[in-house]
Amino acid sequence: MDKRTGKKTLNQREPIADVGLPSYTLNEAVDFVVKVKRANNLKEGTIEGYVKNMRYFIEWVADHRGEISIQDVTADLLRDYVIWCAKEKEYYAGHPYKAEFEKDRRGLSPASVNVRIRVLRTFFAVLNKP
């Protein structure tokens, strides 16, 4: 017996409705998400990881788009960031000890890119909760 009988299949995605995000700067949005995560009793190390990965995103946005609000973040902007992480980011750039190691290497590992994607997904999920 096929368990999928009667299941609805999606052949095309519908655009997400405008959920009316508050007009936060990116830094204010990170502060808000941190408050929510602390209220949910997440471990401090996990929260620090979120903040660190969001700082990477904020720095990239500042370098490539200037100062923007959270409402200005689009799917295309996020895609550009992910592509930059995977293809163009200097390997170990800014690391206190390894900055000279593999200096010409570009792009993060797929695992590192996926961590950044998961952090962004969690971040926007918290902002979009009613």
| CATH number, position 30 | 1.10.150
Report whether 112 contacts 119 (CB < 8 A): no
* Beta partners for residue 106, in sequence order: 90
Report whether 84 contacts 57 (CB < 8 A): no
Q: Is residue 97 part of a domain?
A: yes
Q: Is residue 17 part of a domain?
A: no
Q: Is residue 67 part of a domain?
A: yes
Q: What 3-state DSSP class applies to 106? A: strand
Range of the domain at 122: 26-128
Of 126, 120, 128, nearest to 55 by C-alpha is 120
- Tens-digit pLDDT profile for the chain (130 aa)? 556 666 666 566 565 555 555 678 899 999 999 999 999 999 999 999 999 999 999 999 999 988 888 888 999 999 999 999 898 877 655 655 655 655 666 788 899 899 999 999 999 999 888 6
What pTM did the predictor assign? Answer: 0.72
Q: What 3-state DSSP class applies to 125? A: helix
